Structure 1
Amino acid sequence: VSGGHSREILNDEMYRWLEGYQSGTSQDTPYRVWSGCYSAIAAANQALEVIAEVADPQKFAAQKGEALVCRAFNHFILVNIFSEHYNPATANTQLGIPYNTEAEKVAVKYYKRHTVAEVYELIEKDLTEGMALIDDNVYAVPKYHFTKATAHAFAARYYLYVGNWDKALEHANAALGTNVSSISNKLLPLDGPVFMAPVSSADYEVRYRRIDQPDILLLVSCTSSWGRDHVSSSLRYSMVKDQSDLYTTVNVTGSSSLYYRRWSVSASGAYSLHKYDDLFKYSSPGATTGTSYTVGALFTIEDVLFMRAEAYVMKEKINEALSDINLFLSRRVIAGISVDLAAIKKFYDGKPKYPDLKPFYEIQEEDQMSMLKCIVDWRRIEFMQEGLRWFDIKRFHLEVVHTFPYTGGDPITLTADDPRRALQIPMEAQAYGIEPNPR
């Protein structure tokens, strides 16, 4: 993870939990997350201001709804990356992020951070108001917009994070529907001919998040070098062998055969999943330089299915949760093997590899813990390198151990209560008065 290029320096600093990364402003840095989300929020606020000033605001009710949900979602991402995870016992005192609700009129404006509780309250307000206004009929390409289903998926995640299981189930069901066959047909068909046919890694990347894949609820394009550099020797966009082994070792079903077929390993020992296609835009005709883009999914049917299963577990509806888990496994495990509670308990209970989860709410029964471990494990496998794992690490207070198998050195452990789990506020924001996170 070392080298002289700025990307290698950034990678090394973040991997070792150092704070120098906060000064980086290039692609794929925390600063770009911060500035990108606030740029999206500014666009939403501008749209809301214009809609409020037109002669007939009701004519643009659907656009107002999407702008409100977009504003809520971007604040949700920011507070979950740059703040501690929501905990009702501490949310009123924990530093959140600035929640912007007005279009900016001045070149320089100073903001103060709301508390985590205030941010979550404002997110819920925007989300609830906006979701009621969304109309799918106004979208030419729905999968690049917040549709009704996508807004419900976002609401399910929101209520899961705050521990409101009834609301989480309500919105997950609204996003998924209740017809099992219909849900199964919407899952990404890794067991189907599009993915099972002999294709190159490059073709697999194109197909994985293609807009016609049935599981996609919301796609987003962004500037990123991931699609271009994920097999590079910098290791920045790759994973270690222990993570790749999740796809080849025996899992809870008793099988080691999964429909995840596209990964590679570089000469430096970097394992890479082929999920992201590089979309390169040249700066001008005839130019040799430009900007890399990639496309990713912010919400999928699989994601919502896991959220529903988790809410079922917390409602002590174990059989319903098992049904959702097995529905997912039917499209991911060769031979269609299913699992029951006994198999899950045997595989996860008492294993150091699967430590007990420690959310802010109480897990009442041993069976709940076993089931949650299973859901969190498969969510990790399904969304490897897609960004959801970090939220589970924070939600469930999981330790993170970084090793140095290629360069040597002692492992580094980020403990469950380490304040660095809330990424530091970028230096550019601190320069304009944003209070840094405590260390």
Structure 2
Amino acid sequence: MKKHIVYPLILALAAVALASCDDFLDKMPDSRAELDSEEKIVKMLVSAYPKNCYNMCAEFSSDNVDDYGSTKSHNQLQEELYNWQEVSAVETNENPNAVWSNAYVTIAAANQALSAIQDLGGANTPTLKAARGEALLCRAYGHWVLVNMFCMHYNTNHPEDLGVPYMDHAETELNPKYDRGTVADVYEKMIADIEEGIPLIDDAIYNIPKYHFNYKAACCFASRVFLFHEDWDNAIKYAGMALGSDPQSQLRDLAYLAGFPRNPLNDISKAYNSTSVKANYLIATGMSDAGAIFGSYGSVNRYTHGKSIATYETTETSATTMSPLGSKYGWKMRTWIYGSGRYILPRTPYVFEYTDPVQKIGYTHSLFVIASADEALLNRAEAYIMKKDYTSALADMNMWAKNQITAYYYKELTEESINNWADKLAYDMTDKDPEKPDDLKNKNRTPKKELNPGFPVETGTQENMIHAILFMRRIEFMHMGMRWFDTRRYGITIYRRLIDQDENTLVKITDKMSDEGGNRDPRRCLQLPADVIAAGLTKNPR
């Protein structure tokens, strides 16, 4: 059935204020007086987590999908995201408007909780302290989604980059005015919320901690924020706080998942997102079609992670010259390949909520791992690389690789092996003229991408180590959207490729996103929703 985007108006004050709030304030009075107990405040924070997730927007904007031709089906949202167009599609709960609105809804809920705590005399009990910590982390996370989806990536060379309004209080003013500030401002305020919030977190107040910003989840998220902020020391610090003294024991048990019957894939995807998995620090549910689109289903499969990408860049790279980790046969979790053309890893389950079991109508949902031990480990490894502490980086990279690869195929990664791998690879397609048909050969496709980051990267070992860690991150976060942020952080050149009906032969290159020469492509971020622009917020340059 067609889904309509619905959220509790009582929580949407900040979101609606960014468009038009006259009618809202006429009909919905301030509700903070109702949050008059610790129990009510803790329950309120359930609404501070996303229901409309960014994953779909990010994944279809990234280089994890190719165009497999007009004979396959797609929807308008996928087409517009894939082509880096300004999105007009609103038929799903995963369009940019929904992501924007829901992020501010979650922020509003966090601010309502913070205001109610203050009204009760402040965070002067263990429960209220923990609730304040959780609210601060939720507020920071909501802004992290917004600034990384709707703004250019943080870059010290561009301090003027437009940010998003940072909502740091429960709004009650009629028709308040906002300005976007800068990306740097948003990060400064996120970091302040994170650093104040983490010491207050207490997992004991939760029945199911993994649906909340528990201590490990908060530290993992902090490591991501600091990594994106180019603060390598704090990225290492907070990743270590998440992982503890025995990181290996925290990683995902892939042998357990590989032991599931390969059909149905959905059972493995559900197990991947289970609260019983030690590696899962924070899990979110959302109204999403991700379980169908990145699962064992045959519809909407024109833009997908198919044979072409998998063979030359990701999970199906079959030679050590293409993958720093060796043959495709070594993965504990092998790729699921479907006649629909999809090459899938079990990441996003399909869950259906019946609103009318008789008519068999309702809403599609999925589960998403927001923070995990595996991410914390890769965040730390990357930060070590940036500090040129290759010994520590290799220790973390090998820990991850050993967990991913069967013992028979696993070979220890060394500086020498990574340099040998990367030095033998040409950059993906950049040494050929895509306008010449004779040059459109898959032999020119590699997982090694041109990098144009806003921070210095040394040619040689440091760059080669980055190529290796980016390959690992691409596998770890497949179908989850994180690859889009990595392409932004490193200014990775992305090609839009039309693939022939054999699902392998490259027909033509239809577009290219590149930051060559430091000239950043403005399409690296989504455009603000039209109604928000109409209300007065400055639109993103195009």
TM-score interval (norm. to shorter): over 0.9
- CA-to-partner distance for each residue in 1:83-140, whole Å, 9 max, x for gaps? 111112212x111111111223367544321211111111111111111211111111
Q: Which moved further from structure 2: 249-258 or 378-387?
A: 249-258
- Report if the CA contact (8 A) 1:226-1:276 is conserved: yes
2:166 matched to 1:99?
yes
- CA-to-partner distance for each residue in 1:303-343, whole Å, 9 max, x for gaps? 11111111111222111111111111111112232211111
Alignment of 1:213-252 (within 5 A): 213-230=277-294, 231-235=297-301, 238-245=304-311, 246-248=314-316, 249-250=318-319, 251-252=323-324
- Report if the CA contact (8 A) 1:80-1:391 is conserved: yes
Measured in 1, the distance between the counterparts of 2:257 and 2:293 equals 25
Could you tell me which runs of 5 or more consecutive residues in structure 2 were left unpaired when the two chains were aligned: 1-66, 428-445, 502-506
- Report if the CA contact (8 A) 1:23-1:428 is conserved: no
Equivalent position of 1:414 in the other structure: 513
Q: Which moved further from structure 2: 396-405 or 425-434?
A: 425-434
Supply the AA of the counterpart residue of 1:404: L
Measured in 2, the distance between the counterparts of 1:296 and 1:318 equals 31
Equivalent position of 2:64 in the other structure: none
Structure 2 CA distance for partners of 1:141 and 1:367, relative to 1, 3 Å: same
- Report if the CA contact (8 A) 1:277-1:294 is conserved: yes
- CA-to-partner distance for each residue in 1:181-222, whole Å, 9 max, x for gaps? xx22221121x2442343421222221211111211110001
Structure 2 CA distance for partners of 1:198 and 1:288, relative to 1, 3 Å: closer
Higher relative contact order (CA 8 A, sep 6+): 2
Equivalent position of 1:26 in the other structure: 92
Alignment of 1:298-317 (within 5 A): 298-317=370-389
2:475 matched to 1:381?
yes
Structure 2 CA distance for partners of 1:285 and 1:23, relative to 1, 3 Å: closer
1:284 CA drift (Å): 3.3
Measured in 2, the distance between the counterparts of 1:186 and 1:346 equals 31
Equivalent position of 1:139 in the other structure: 206
Tell me the SS of whatever aligns to 2:452.
coil
Structure 2 CA distance for partners of 1:57 and 1:301, relative to 1, 3 Å: closer
Q: Which moved further from structure 2: 221-230 or 296-305?
A: 221-230
Measured in 1, the distance between the counterparts of 2:184 and 2:158 equals 8
1:6 CA drift (Å): 11
Sequence identity percentage: 33
1:285 CA drift (Å): 4.7
Q: TM-score, normalised by structure 1?
A: 0.92
Match of 1:401 among 495, 519, 527: 495
**Matched pairs, number:** 432
Equivalent position of 2:411 in the other structure: 337
Equivalent position of 1:259 in the other structure: 332
Equivalent position of 1:176 in the other structure: 243
- Report if the CA contact (8 A) 1:226-1:294 is conserved: yes
Q: Which moved further from structure 2: 304-313 or 342-351?
A: 342-351
Measured in 2, the distance between the counterparts of 1:426 and 1:406 equals 34
1:290 CA drift (Å): 0.8
Supply the AA of the counterpart residue of 2:149: I
RMSD: 2.3
Measured in 2, the distance between the counterparts of 1:116 and 1:284 equals 44
Match of 2:220 among 148, 153, 172: 153
Equivalent position of 1:434 in the other structure: 537
- Report if the CA contact (8 A) 2:140-2:194 is conserved: yes
1:398 CA drift (Å): 0.4
Alignment of 1:68-83 (within 5 A): 68-83=136-151
Tell me the SS of whatever aligns to 2:207.
coil
Alignment of 1:343-382 (within 5 A): 343-349=417-423, 350-352=425-427, 353=446, 354-364=448-458, 366-382=460-476
Supply the AA of the counterpart residue of 1:333: I
Supply the AA of the counterpart residue of 2:472: W
2:351 matched to 1:279?
yes
Structure 2 CA distance for partners of 1:134 and 1:237, relative to 1, 3 Å: farther
Equivalent position of 2:102 in the other structure: 36
Supply the AA of the counterpart residue of 1:415: S
Q: TM-score, normalised by structure 2?
A: 0.75
Match of 1:185 among 214, 236, 249: 249
Could you tell me which runs of 5 or more consecutive residues in structure 1 were left unpaired when the two chains were aligned: none
Structure 2 CA distance for partners of 1:115 and 1:194, relative to 1, 3 Å: closer
- Report if the CA contact (8 A) 2:73-2:300 is conserved: no
Equivalent position of 2:158 in the other structure: 90
Structure 2 CA distance for partners of 1:228 and 1:299, relative to 1, 3 Å: same
- CA-to-partner distance for each residue in 1:153-172, whole Å, 9 max, x for gaps? 11111111122111111111
- Report if the CA contact (8 A) 2:449-2:493 is conserved: no
Measured in 2, the distance between the counterparts of 1:390 and 1:279 equals 25
Alignment of 1:309-328 (within 5 A): 309-328=381-400
Match of 1:65 among 129, 133, 140: 133
Structure 2 CA distance for partners of 1:338 and 1:196, relative to 1, 3 Å: farther
Q: Which moved further from structure 2: 202-211 or 252-261?
A: 252-261
Equivalent position of 2:42 in the other structure: none
Tell me the SS of whatever aligns to 2:75.
helix
Supply the AA of the counterpart residue of 1:264: I
Q: Which moved further from structure 2: 32-41 or 400-409?
A: 400-409
